[in-house]
Amino acid sequence: MVTRNSLIHGRSAGLLASLGIALGVQLHVLYTMLGVGLVLQNSPGLFSTVKLLGAVYLVYVGYKTFFTPLPSSSSATPLKKLGAFDALRTGFFTNALNPKTTLFVVSVYTQIIQPETSIAVQVGYGLFMSLAHWIWFSLVTVFFSEEHLRSKMVHHQRVLNRMIGIILAGLGFWLALT
């Protein structure tokens, strides 16, 4: 059993940090839902502008992902032991205070929310976004905590970055045109 004061490292710390990251997304979802709802009610023109800017941001993130240089293998930092609560808290604040996560959530959310979208569906979208973050970062934790898997992943990183970049940019272009 992991208690608040027990020290953990590696996969366990990473999985708790992944949960914290997913919880941090909920903060962005909450204020995005409130803000998008207000903008939809009071200014459809402003909402359309934010929606277009969100699509442009997705194209930008896709472009940056596609062309991001790969880090050198010597850039890895040694792991330190954390308390279980510290790992969760670190993941939460890393995402809650990340301006790129803010832009990403607002960009994606403004693309899928319409005036007739129910609160339950909006909450469902937010929960899905958190679940997707938790799964992704948990998988990253599992892959990068095993040396063999880490080396295979790093070997294919360029292809993975390019695929993700194309998907994000394509989504942004598609959303801007619809």
* pLDDT tens figures, 41-89: 788 788 788 778 888 888 998 999 999 887 765 555 555 677 888 889 9
The predicted pLDDT at position 93 comes to 93
pLDDT at residue 13, rounded to an integer: 85
Q: Provide the pLDDT for residue 63.
A: 95
33 has a pLDDT exceeding 50: yes
Q: How confident is the model at residue 169 (pLDDT cuts 50, 70, 90)?
A: very high
Name the 3-class secondary structure at 7. Answer: strand
How far is the CA of 161 from the CAs of 17, 52, 158, in angstroms? Answer: 23, 24, 5
Q: What is the secondary structure of 69-114 as a DSSP string?
A: PPPPGGG------EEHHHHHHHHHHHHHT-HHHHHHHHHHHHHH--
Arithmetic mean of pLDDT, 142-168: 85
7 pLDDT higher than 70: no
The rounded percent of the chain whose pLDDT value lies above 70 is: 89
Query: pLDDT tens digits, residue range 105-132?
Result: 888 887 787 778 898 998 999 999 999 9
pLDDT reported for residue 1: 45
Highest mean pLDDT among 5-9, 16-20, 96-100: 16-20
| Range from 17-31, 54-68, 93-107 carrying the lowest mean pLDDT | 93-107
Domain residue spans in the chain?
9-177
Average pLDDT over the chain, rounded to whole?
A: 83
Task: Give yes or no for a contact between 62 and 165, defined as CB atoms under 8 angstroms apart.
Answer: yes
pLDDT at 64: 93
Provide the whole-model pTM. Answer: 0.69
Looking at residue 5, its pLDDT comes to: 46
Cα–Cα distance for residue pair 165/29, rounded to 1 Å = 23
